[in-house]
Amino acid sequence: MNQFSKGRRVGLVAPYPPFRGGIAHFSARFHSSLQQVGVQVVGVSFSRQYPQWLFPGTSQYADHAIESFNAPPMVDSINPFSWKKAANYLISEGVDEVAFMIWMPFFAPAYLRMVRILKKRGIKITAIVHNAFPHKKQPFGRVLTQTLLNQCDRIIALSENVRQDIQQLDVPQSHAVEVLPHPVYNQFGDRIDKGEARRQLKLDEKGPLILFFGLVRSYKGLDVLLQALAETDHSIRLLIAGEWYDDQDLLKKLMSDPRIADRIVSHNAYIADDQVKVYFSAADVLVQPYRSATQSGVVQMALHFNVPSIVTSVGGLPEMVQHGVSGLVVPPENPAPLAMAINTFFEGDTATKMAQATEKMKAEWSWEHFVQRFINA
Q: For residues 30 and 154, what is the distance between their CA atoms, to the nearest angstrom?
A: 17
Average pLDDT, the chain: 91
* 151-170 pLDDT per residue, tens: 999 999 999 999 999 988 87
Assign a CATH topology to domain 194-364: Rossmann fold (3.40.50)
Report the C-alpha gap between 258 and 313 in whole angstroms: 30
pTM: 0.88
Same fold, 9-180 and 194-364: yes
The pLDDT, as a whole number, for residue 358 is 92
Pick one of 1.20.140.10, 3.40.640.10, 3.40.50.11930, 3.40.50.150 as the CATH number of 9-180.
3.40.50.11930
- Distances 106 to 19, 61, 72, 112, 129 between C-alpha atoms, Å: 17, 19, 21, 11, 14
| Cα of 11 vs its chain's centroid, Å | 21
Q: Work out the pLDDT band at 347, boundaries 50, 70, 90.
A: very high
Of the chain, the percentage scoring pLDDT greater than 90 comes to 75
Each residue of 31-88: pLDDT tens digit?
999 999 999 999 999 999 877 655 555 555 555 555 667 899 999 999 999 999 999 9
What's the pLDDT at 356?
94
Cα 16 to Cα 12: distance, rounded to the nearest angstrom: 10
What confidence tier does 376 reach under pLDDT thresholds 50, 70, 90? confident
Sequence-ordered strand ranges (E) for the chain: 9-13, 40-48, 73-76, 97-102, 124-129, 154-157, 177-179, 209-213, 237-241, 264-267, 285-288, 309-312, 327-330
Question: Are the C-beta atoms of residues 278 and 192 closer than 8 Å to each other?
Answer: yes
Give me the helix-helix angle, 141-150 and 108-120, nearest 10°: 20
Model confidence at 269, pLDDT cuts 50, 70, 90, reads confident
- Assign 122 to helix, strand or coil: coil
Distance CA(114)–CA(109), nearest Å, equals 9
Taking the C-alpha atoms of 94, 96, 98 and 99 in order, what is their torsion angle to the nearest 10 degrees?
A: -140
Q: What Å distances lie between residue 72 and 17, 66, 82, 103, CA to CA?
A: 11, 18, 12, 21
Query: Phi and psi for 51 in degrees, rounded to 5?
Result: -60, 145
List Cα–Cα distances, 170 to 103, 107, 152, 159, 230, in angstroms: 18, 19, 13, 19, 45
pLDDT (tens digit, 9 = 90+) per residue, 270-319?
898 899 999 999 999 999 999 988 778 899 999 999 999 999 999 889 99
Region for 305 from its dihedrals, namely left if φ exceeds 0, alpha if ψ lies in -120 to 50, beta otherwise: alpha
Distance CA(188)–CA(303), nearest Å, equals 12
DSSP conformation letters of 306-350: T--EEEESSTTHHHHS-BTTTEEEE-TT-HHHHHHHHHHHTSTTH
Let me know: does 261 contact 255? Beta carbons within 8 Å.
Answer: yes
With residue 368 as reference, give the H or E element that holds it.
Answer: helix 367-376
Domain spans of the chain? 9-180, 194-364
Which among 55, 63, 305, 286 has a CA at the least distance from the CA of 184? 305
Q: What's the chain's Rg over C-alpha atoms?
A: 21
Residue 247 has pLDDT above 90, yes or no: no
For the cut 80, the answer to whether the pLDDT of residue 227 exceeds it is yes
Q: Is residue 229 within 8 Å of residue 238, measured between CB atoms?
A: yes
Handedness of CA 11, 190, 295, 226 (dihedral sign): negative
- 332, 337, 342, 347: CA torsion to nearest 10: -150
